[in-house]
Amino acid sequence: MTERSKDVVVEKELSFGPVHPALIEPFRIRLFVNDEIVEDCELTINIPHRGVERLLEGLPVERALLITERVCGICSNVHAWNSVRVVESGLNIKVPDRANYIRVLINEVQRIASHLIFFGHAFEVLGHETFSMRSFLLREVFMDLMAYIGGNRVMPSVPVIGGIRPRADLTESLKRVILERVDDFEKKYLEFVERVVADPLVMSRLTGVGLMSKDEAIKYHATGPTGRASGWDYDVRRMMYEYKPFDFNVVVLPEGDNKARVVARALEVIESLKIIRQVVKNLPEGPIVNRDWVPGKMDFTTMYFETFRGELMHSYSLDSQGLIRGYKIRTPTPTNLAAMENVCIGDHVTDAVLTIASCDPCMTCCNRVEVIDSGKTRIMSEIEIVRKYGWRR
Amino acid sequence: MGLKATARKNAIHAMLIYAVGCNGCDIEVLNALLSPRYDLEQYRVLLTWNPREADVLIVTGCVPWQMAEPLKKLYEMVPEPKAVVAVGSCAINGNVFKNMVGEIGINEEIAGPVENIIPVDVKVPGCAPRPEDIIAGAVKGVPKLMEAP
């Protein structure tokens, strides 16, 4: 809750959640409403807390992959890949080129699937079920591709330390299938986007609502398509060596309203298709995994990564036996939601849930603990809590 | 088949409770029930968000302690006869969050699996289970509804 609510007298408080028809995921929204205008908004995001960072403490680094992949089911590959990148960078493990290409491929496939889920969710909140169903139908193409490449629709688990799983190697026939499916998808997708943009009802609901300026985006650290839709030109993919061989544009839009956030993702899908085609056409030959490494002592290493929602951080160290110490994950959704909490103030109450959904929230990754210490709310990580209060509740 | 059973068979309402897993099973259930590819609605299995309307309760996720009480309440709200389908490894045995622990021994954040909190009739294993399996699981719960007086 912002400081503002202390001075404003509100007529009514609307409170949803944690289980509510309007919210698929468990979180709580309190909207303070005056004459149908949102005066203040409060989000509670600590319900899906599973203690992932604490679970990882003392696990062998090879097994960490199993848990980090299950942090989030929509962006599973992102967490798996970034947890692997940390140890690769810390212990100087060389990753073969072919493995890097296939990692990029599965990441972009999942990025498109994630953006299409966002359209499904946003249009459902908007009340346009046809568009929602169509984007779910389009998404099936990429779920199939993930099943072909990794063997599972949701958890492809492609990266392992030093390369990729042998199961995920691309054969010639699979390359052909990917290109065919992507071409077919692009045709259908462009038709779908044209329909959405030409729909006056949908566009009038989206345009000019939930305005976020560039300064606000930087202040709240709203990264990813959410920040780029406000004109903040920031993409971690530019700094990642894995993405160096590929040619793609970073979509930056100046408007900063809900429409921009939808359109930014729609354009990013097309950029991802470009990367997928480049991967399949330029895939180098060679080994796919480098097994020439031993787990050993590693200092704290931090790696940043551009997920589908924004900037992701994984950081940990290894002790002399190769066990994980001090795992820290920072996901983009908490900062994006903090921005949205402020952005929806001043708008009509019917648009508030749409504005919050427009940052593509994924509540499972927001595993922060809220501590109320003598009336003052503070958000802490698990490690801080354990240091201060001990593990037992 | 009696009148009640006919009526029930023609409108089975499934409610999805997302008891905090990783979102994967959750979206697969939505895929199975709603999406045009696996469309369960064509067999008159409808997704509802109202526990008082529901016949089949689909629970996903490993149930942390914050969700245990709401889950119990929601289960009590569902009128008899009812069937509970636990979807995914998390709902069945807690998956990595309960079983693959490092040094802490027991993960006290998690009150689940679902069986500890409410009785479960059908289990659909997998991480995440395929939509076909979820459909098969939801159909397995139907006889319990039909046989009830």
Residues B95, A19: C-beta atoms closer than 8 Å: no
Residues B66, A59: C-beta atoms closer than 8 Å: no
Residues A155, B127: C-beta atoms closer than 8 Å: yes
Give the confidence band of A52 by pLDDT, cuts at 50, 70, 90.
confident
Lowest mean pLDDT among A71-85, A131-145, A338-352: A338-352
Give the confidence band of B149 by pLDDT, cuts at 50, 70, 90.
low
In the predicted model, what is the mean pLDDT of residues B89-115? 84
For residue B147, being part of any structural domain is answered with: no
B35 CB neighbours in chain A (<8 A) are 133, 136-137, 139-140
For the stretch A134-183, pLDDT in tens is 999 999 999 999 999 988 888 888 999 999 999 889 999 999 999 999 99
Lowest mean pLDDT among A89-98, A167-176, A326-335, B69-78: A326-335
Report chain B's terminal Cα–Cα distance, integer Å: 11
Residue A365 has pLDDT above 80, yes or no: no
What mean pLDDT value characterizes chain A? 84
In the predicted model, what is the mean pLDDT of residues A293-316? 89
pLDDT of residue A391: 44
Residue B91 has pLDDT above 60, yes or no: yes
B35 inside 8 A of chain A by CB? yes
The reply to whether A62 sits in an annotated binding site is no
Give the confidence band of A218 by pLDDT, cuts at 50, 70, 90.
confident
In the predicted model, what is the mean pLDDT of residues A89-115? 92
Give the confidence band of A383 by pLDDT, cuts at 50, 70, 90.
very low
* A257, A208 contact by CB (below 8 A): yes
Predicted complex ipTM: 0.89
Residue A393 has pLDDT above 70, yes or no: no
For residue B58, being part of any structural domain is answered with: yes
For the stretch B28-83, pLDDT in tens is 888 888 888 888 888 888 888 888 888 888 998 888 887 888 889 889 999 888 88
Residue A185 has pLDDT above 90, yes or no: yes
Distance from the A269 Cα atom to the nearest Cα atom in chain B, whole angstroms: 20
pLDDT of residue A392: 42
For residue B84, being part of any structural domain is answered with: yes
Residue B99 has pLDDT above 50, yes or no: yes
Residues A67, B37: C-beta atoms closer than 8 Å: no
Residue A253 has pLDDT above 70, yes or no: yes
Number of domains present in the structure of chain B: 1
Lowest mean pLDDT among A19-28, A236-245, A278-287: A19-28
B98 phi/psi in degrees, rounded to 5? -100, -35
Higher pLDDT, A89 or B109: A89
Question: What is the secondary structure of A170-205 as a DSSP string?
Answer: PPHHHHHHHHHHHHHHHHHHHHHHHHHHH-HHHHHH
Q: Which residue of A18, A74, A362 is in closest CB contact with B70? A: A18
- Other Cβ atoms closer than 10 A to A64: 25
For residue B37, being part of any structural domain is answered with: yes
In the predicted model, what is the mean pLDDT of residues A254-275? 91
* A84, A159 contact by CB (below 8 A): yes
CATH for B16: 3.40.50.12280
Distance from the B102 Cα atom to the nearest Cα atom in chain A, whole angstroms: 5
- Ranges of beta strands (E only) in chain A are 12-16, 28-34, 37-44, 159-160, 163-164, 298-306, 311-318, 324-330, 369-373, 376-380
Question: CA torsion angle for B21, B24, B27, B33 (degrees, to 10)?
Answer: -90
Distance from the A274 Cα atom to the nearest Cα atom in chain B, whole angstroms: 26
Give the confidence band of A268 by pLDDT, cuts at 50, 70, 90.
very high
A136 CB neighbours in chain B (<8 A) are 30-31, 34-37
Distance from the A69 Cα atom to the nearest Cα atom in chain B, whole angstroms: 9
B36 CB neighbours in chain A (<8 A) are 133-134, 136-137
Residue B11 has pLDDT above 70, yes or no: yes
For the stretch A346-359, pLDDT in tens is 888 888 888 888 88
Give the confidence band of A100 by pLDDT, cuts at 50, 70, 90.
very high
Domain that holds residue B137: 6-141
Q: Which residue of B36, B103, B128 is in closest CB contact with A58? A: B103
B27 CB neighbours in chain A (<8 A) are 73-74, 117, 154
pLDDT of residue A9: 67
pLDDT of residue B138: 81
Residue of chain B whose Cα is closest to the Cα of A369: B109
| CA separation for the pair B104, A3 (Å, rounded) | 39
Residue A190 has pLDDT above 90, yes or no: yes
Higher pLDDT, B140 or B89: B89
Q: Which residue of A66, A117, A136 is in closest CB contact with B36? A: A136
Angle at A256 between CA A252 and CA A257, to 5 degrees: 130
| CA separation for the pair A239, A317 (Å, rounded) | 23
Residue B109: beta bridge partners? none
For residue B26, being part of any structural domain is answered with: yes
Buried-exposed string B114-144: b where 16+ CB fall within 10 A, e elsewhere: beebbebbbbbebbbbbbebbbebbbbbbeb
Domains and CATH numbers, chain A: 94-292 (1.10.645.10)
What is the distance, to the nearest Å, from the Cα of residue A118 to the centroid of all Cα atoms in its chain?
Answer: 11
